[in-house]
Structure formats: C-alpha cells, structure tokens
Structure 1
Amino acid sequence: MPVELGVWRVDHGLQAVLHQPMANEKKLEDLIEANIAVVAPHLMVIGRQVQTSYGKYVDLLAIDRAGNLAIIELKRDMTPRDVVAQVLDYGSWVIGLQSDQIASIWGNYVEKYRPSDKGMSLDQAFCKRFGLKEMLDELNTEHELIIVASALDDSTERIVEYLAGYHGININAVFFRMFKDGDREYLTRAWLRDPTEDASDSPDAPANSHWNGEYYVSYAGENREWHEAQKYGFIAGGGGTWYSNTLQMLSPGNRVWVNIPGTGYVGVGEVTGLRVPVDDFTFDENGYTKKITDTDAVIATRTKYAESPENAEYLVPVKWIETVPVANAIKEKGFFGNQNTVARPTSPKWVHTVARLKERFQID
C-alpha cells in the first residue's frame, strides 16, 4: 500500500502538523536539484531539463560513484501508466549515452543552472563529489529510474513493484509531502522500495533470479587507502547510512570481491566478523590485539561513532584470499559495478565478472 505520512508536535501535548499541498512540483524539483541528498545521497546531479534525441525533457539526470546514470522524473499530473511509460522511454534513451554526450550534458547544466561552477569539467566535479583521484574510464554501464511524487497511488506502486520484482528493472518511487507549522515548512520523504537493497534481497524477486552466493563490495572515498585494508584486514564504508548500512548484510563466512570504482578489482576475501565502528575495530599483531585508532592509519581519521553514529566509518573484518596492489587492479570491459558499498547482484554481468575474477586471481 502507498505510504501515508503524518507529523505531530509533542512539546505541548500531541498536536498534528497540517499537511500542505505543494503549490507546484517545480518547487519540489528546485529543492531536489539544490540538494539531491533528499532523494538519494549517493547521486550527483549532472543535468536538468535534459532534452532527449526525440524532443522530450528529462527532469533531472544524475550520476553515482560507479559512473551509472539515474533518471529522476516528477509525476506531475500524469496518470500512473503515463509516468511509468515516460520514465521507461527515457531509460531507453539514456542507456545509449556515451561519455562525450554525458560531459556535454554536464556542460550545458553548469552554464544554465550553476554558473558558479563554470569552467569545472565533469571529471573534476565527479572526483570532488565522490572523493576519487581520477574519472572512471567507463560510464553508464547501467542506470536507475526514480519516480518522484507528491502523492503515490496504488496503480503506480503495483507497476513499479512488478517491474522491479519480476523483471529486474532498477526502478523506484519516492514520495514527498509538505507540512506547515506556523511559519515553518517541513518536507517528508518515503521510498516505495529500500533504495540500498539489491533486487535479489527482495522477497518478491522472481523465482528464476539467481544469486551466485558472492558479495560485491565497493571500496572508495577520501581517506580510504587500499593498502591499509590489505594490511589490517577489513572493508569499510561511512559518511552516511547509505554507505554504511549495507555492510550489515555481511556475516562470517561470506566471500567478498572488492572493486575500487574507476580502478578495478583488487581483492577477494572471507568475512570473519560483523560490522563495527572504526572506534572499535581491532586486529592481531604478533599475538597482541590492537585498535586501529591507535595506529597512524589514514582510515582512523574518519568519523568516529562517538562523534556521529550516523556518519561514522564502519569496518568489517576480512581474511584475504588474494589481493593485488592498486597498480595491478583487474579491470575488463563488461565487469559489474554498483554504487552500494555491499550488494548481492543477480545480473548475468555479475556472474560473468566473478567467473573472470576467479580465473584472473587463480582461485577456485
């Protein structure tokens, strides 16, 4: 069923905060474009009102740290059938975009909507936003579709769930409502489907979807050095619950394949413990247990749980089976990439990726 949101004040007894219909969805588009984190903190806006090759306009176009594009389309006054058909149509156009076209879209966006960033290339903006040292070689290998609505109806929910659960399409809907309390306005948000959850984790996943039992891990970001992960035996994520929550999917005995976006796969290992904050992560050295925060590791400078549980860096201990230095990272065209720190992919691309990595790492 569609999510129904209510807001109450509790400081002077229970008082309902009134729902205020949004005057127009352009205001919502303005809010999202100004701070994309209200929709998805893993994205960066690269285009607004982007004209397709057949004359239609995509409301917002974004990119994630794996180089994949996201179409964000407002429902406006369209019927459920029309809005879903439109976002699928946009997806069929976006999947064909090449790197030079994406860079051109960014250039147009900066010129029209972000003059303060004039002269900043897509490469520079991307690396700054995601804490990477260089732009990815391959962009737009996959894409996601996001429908934004100020009201979510049964029909839209059924269609989105059907496309995602039974056809494996990366589509979701996010529902916003405005509330007014005196001279203050509040915006609430609810997702139809958990945006950090891979389709294979859904109880509604199609019976013929197949997960090969191998976990994907993305290891990237500022102050995360791969040689430290090798030395101390961990994978990590933080800077927000979007990046750290998926680490909770891992349990001792799980096997993980680690990818550095834009660089390649650098290791495969077996999880030996559960997620812990960086404050509490320990490792063995010459028979002694030590805390990583007592070392000079760069990872130890990340946000601590004591400072901010939500933004803290979290680590999962791993016993490495095989690793390579960053300079020898394994990268091939067609390899799987994902914005989530941890994922359980079911796509054929993941099956292919793991098979090739087993050959390259020479393991069973």
Structure 2
Amino acid sequence: MAIEVGLWRVDDIPRRIPTTAMPLESKLERLILQDPEILETKLLLIGSQVPTGYGKFIDILGVDSEGTLHILELKRDRTPREVVAQTLDYASWVEGLGNEEVRNIFESGQPGKNFDEEFANRFDGAPVPDELNLTHVMTIVASDLDPSTERIVSYLNRSHGVPINAMIFRYFVDGGHEYLARTWLIDETATVPAGAGTKGSTRAAWNGQDWYVAFGIDGGSRSWADASRFGFVSAGGADWYSRTLKSLPVGARVFVHVPKRGYVGVGTVVGLAKPADDAELQIQGEMRPFRSLSLDAEYSHPDAGEGIDTAEYVVPVEWVHTVSLESACWREGMFANQNSACKLRNQFTIDELSRQFGLAASG
C-alpha cells in the first residue's frame, strides 16, 4: 500500500486540507508534459501519445540519464485489468526499440530539436550514452489508485520482478490554489529495469572509422602545442590510461578532445602506440626519436606510484585539421568521457566537428 500523503495549512492552528478528486486525469498528463520535474525521476520526454506498431498510443515515453526508457501510462477511468494489461503490452513493443528508433521517435515528434542537444540540456551537459533502451521500466500514473490495481502491481513487482510501479498524485485545493503531492506505490529503488529485446540494436551504430581520444593537459605532463606541432597523441601514467590508447589501429580517424576545453583536432593514425622512450615520429620526412624533440612537456610520470606500466604512450598522427586551445570546439550534447581512446559512435559530435573542421560529410 502506498504511503498516504497529508497536507496541513498552519497559520494560527493546524488545519488539514482534504484531498479532492482531480477534475480530469488528462490535466495531470498536461502538467507532466509542461513540467517533467513533477516526476520524481528526472527524464527527458521522448514523446506523448507515441504510436506503437499496432495502432495503440503510449501516453508518455521518456528516457533517463542512463538511457533507460520509461513508459508512463495514466490510469484514467480504465479497470485495473485494462490499465495493467495495456502497460505491459506497450512494454512488449518498447522492448524492441533500437537506438536509432528511439532517436527517430523523439525528432519526429519535436521537429527542429536535436536529441543529443536536448539530452545534454536536460542532464546537465551529460552526453547520450552509447546504449539507449538497454533496459526499460513501466509506471502507472494515477490521481487515485484502487486496491485491485495496487495488488496487481505489487504482485508483479515484488513476486515476479516485473519493472512496474505506480506513482500516485494527491490533489488539494485551498483558498483558490491547487496543489499536487506525489508518492510511489513501491519504493522506487526496489524496481529493477528489464532488459531490452533484440529487434534493434540498443548501441549507437559505429561507422568503423572514427575514434575519440582524450588528451589531458592538467598537471602539465602533456602539451597540445607539442602534439599539434609534431603530430601525435599520448596518454599514460597507469594501465587504465594507456590500455585504450594502445587499441588505436593504423588508419583510424581520431577526434581529439581536451577535457574542460573541447575538441582541438582531427587526424589519421599512422603508427601504433609505443612508450615515449621508444617512439619515433616523422618530422619533415625524417624519423626522429620522440625524446629528441624540443618538447614543452615532460611526458613522464615519476610520481605515478606502483603499477604494471606507468609509461607515457605515444601514437603518431597525421593531422587533417587542428585548432588552438582557445578555439576548441564544444557544444552541449557532444561526446566526452574519461577513456583515453574509444570508438566514437555519437553522430551528432561527428557531424558538428565535420562542419567545424571542414571535413566531408560523415554518416
């Protein structure tokens, strides 16, 4: 049973404000669409009245910062059996949505808006996860919930692990003002999302060419001026940093990101990663040892502590385009993470950087 919510007006003496029936549950849907913060779980709304593949419409479909899809279905005047069965039916369709299908639903319902930008704006600059709809959850939204619906939802959730819950809104009117209070039927942390199906890939497609490289300059162990001048990227100081850089293949196109600054260059990998002490770079047609170059930074980590391999690793790159740190390119929704290197799947980032750096269109 849900926790009962009470509201008191306290002037000179406490006076409880009684709950009243919400005039129309469609009003509750409109309020959620106008201000999604009404929902306890922070969501980016993908769409409302989303058409399924069999002629039905999901009231509200949203996504959280982890890429989990949320199916929100208003109870309206349906029977417990109807609303629960309908919600489960919708989930069976949502389960098969792939990454591109989720994006298409959002952008077809909100022309002119870009999913990646809106996601970043909603979640404090966080980029879209590579995996969308790896899991999903269901929520029945109601202004009141009858005992039968409570029993069915609780049985499915607690006894069979079905990721379904109910959010109950209480409606109050006092002195001409209207108020809403909310509570979950079941503790939200007890709801474990369900895995996605296999109809579409939940992972963003990779074009087989583009990679992301993080070039950290904090602490002065590296210099972007060195890298852009001599043609390389590097990382090291511990296995975690160098391991992903070693995975860069010859011929890969790399987009280089300086954390807290933005993207500063794009180029082609022309050699495999080697320790700085062993690396060589081609300078004006001549192969020269990396350590023989006039470098601004040290590219060493004497205070890194114990580790299997604390060396700085260097990857030769033939630059296509570079900019200074002051001209670094960044827009909300662009991809960034802590890996030294990884496959770049974020098409919004690729498209924007292709435009900024004067590259041919990518797809």
Q: Which TM-score bucket, shorter chain as reference?
A: 0.5 to 0.7
The match for 1:326 among 333, 339, 358 is 339
Indicate whether 1:173 and 2:166 are aligned.
yes
Query: Distance between the aligned counterparts of 2:338 and 2:102, measured in 1?
Result: 31
Indicate whether 1:162 and 2:175 are aligned.
no
Q: Which has the higher helix share?
A: 1
Partner of 2:129: 136
Partner of 1:125: 118
Partner of 1:12: 12
- DSSP-derived class of the 1:61 partner: strand
Query: Distance between the aligned counterparts of 2:67 and 2:192, measured in 1?
Result: 19
Indicate whether 1:64 and 2:58 are aligned.
no
**What is the deviation of 1:38?**
1.6
For 1:50-199, what aligned pairs fall within 5 Å after superposition?
Answer: 50-110=50-110, 118-132=111-125, 134-197=127-190, 199=192
In structure 2, give the amino acid aligned to 1:187. Answer: L
Identity %: 44
Query: Distance between the aligned counterparts of 1:73 and 1:81, measured in 2?
Result: 13
Instruction: Give per-residue Cα distances to partners, 1:15-44, cap 9 Å, x unaligned.
Output: 121322111111100111122222233211
Partner of 2:209: none
In structure 2, give the amino acid aligned to 1:68. Answer: T
**1:174 and 1:191 in contact (8 A); partners too:** yes
**What is the deviation of 1:132?**
4.2
**2:46 and 2:61 in contact (8 A); partners too:** yes
Query: Distance between the aligned counterparts of 1:174 and 1:166, measured in 2?
Result: 19
Query: Distance between the aligned counterparts of 1:199 and 1:326, measured in 2?
Result: 28
Query: Distance between the aligned counterparts of 1:136 and 1:8, measured in 2?
Result: 43
> CA 1:198–1:15 in structure 2 vs 1: closer, same or farther (change >3 Å)?
same
Query: Distance between the aligned counterparts of 2:76 and 2:338, measured in 1?
Result: 49
> CA 1:161–1:328 in structure 2 vs 1: closer, same or farther (change >3 Å)?
farther
Query: Distance between the aligned counterparts of 1:79 and 1:133, measured in 2?
Result: 40
**1:49 and 1:59 in contact (8 A); partners too:** yes
> CA 1:70–1:198 in structure 2 vs 1: closer, same or farther (change >3 Å)?
closer
**2:119 and 2:126 in contact (8 A); partners too:** no
> CA 1:132–1:49 in structure 2 vs 1: closer, same or farther (change >3 Å)?
same
In structure 2, give the amino acid aligned to 1:58. Answer: I
Pair member with larger Rg: 2
> CA 1:330–1:171 in structure 2 vs 1: closer, same or farther (change >3 Å)?
farther
Instruction: Give per-residue Cα distances to partners, 1:206-258, cap 9 Å, x unaligned.
Output: xxxxxxxxxxxxxxxxxxx9x9xxxxxxxxxxxxxxxxxxxxxxxxxxxxxxx
Query: Distance between the aligned counterparts of 1:189 and 1:7, measured in 2?
Result: 12
Instruction: Please list every run of 5 or more consecutive structure 1 residues that lacks an aligned counterpart in the other structure.
Output: 111-117, 201-224, 228-264, 266-297, 299-320, 332-364
Query: Distance between the aligned counterparts of 1:199 and 1:67, measured in 2?
Result: 14
Indicate whether 1:35 and 2:56 are aligned.
no
**What is the deviation of 1:104?**
1.9
Query: Distance between the aligned counterparts of 2:191 and 2:52, measured in 1?
Result: 29
> CA 1:102–1:330 in structure 2 vs 1: closer, same or farther (change >3 Å)?
closer
Instruction: Give per-residue Cα distances to partners, 1:110-155, cap 9 Å, x unaligned.
Output: 2xxxxxxx52211111122223454322211110000001111221
Partner of 2:200: none
- The normalised TM-score by structure 1 is 0.52
Query: Distance between the aligned counterparts of 1:137 and 1:188, measured in 2?
Result: 35
**1:47 and 1:106 in contact (8 A); partners too:** yes
**2:2 and 2:186 in contact (8 A); partners too:** no
- DSSP-derived class of the 1:91 partner: helix
**1:175 and 1:192 in contact (8 A); partners too:** yes
Query: Distance between the aligned counterparts of 1:63 and 1:11, measured in 2?
Result: 41
Count of aligned positions: 212
> CA 1:191–1:171 in structure 2 vs 1: closer, same or farther (change >3 Å)?
same
Query: Distance between the aligned counterparts of 1:32 and 1:188, measured in 2?
Result: 13
Query: Distance between the aligned counterparts of 1:67 and 1:38, measured in 2?
Result: 20
**1:2 and 1:154 in contact (8 A); partners too:** no
**2:157 and 2:191 in contact (8 A); partners too:** no
> CA 1:327–1:198 in structure 2 vs 1: closer, same or farther (change >3 Å)?
farther
> CA 1:133–1:11 in structure 2 vs 1: closer, same or farther (change >3 Å)?
closer
**2:3 and 2:185 in contact (8 A); partners too:** yes
Partner of 1:209: none
> CA 1:89–1:122 in structure 2 vs 1: closer, same or farther (change >3 Å)?
same
**1:148 and 1:173 in contact (8 A); partners too:** yes
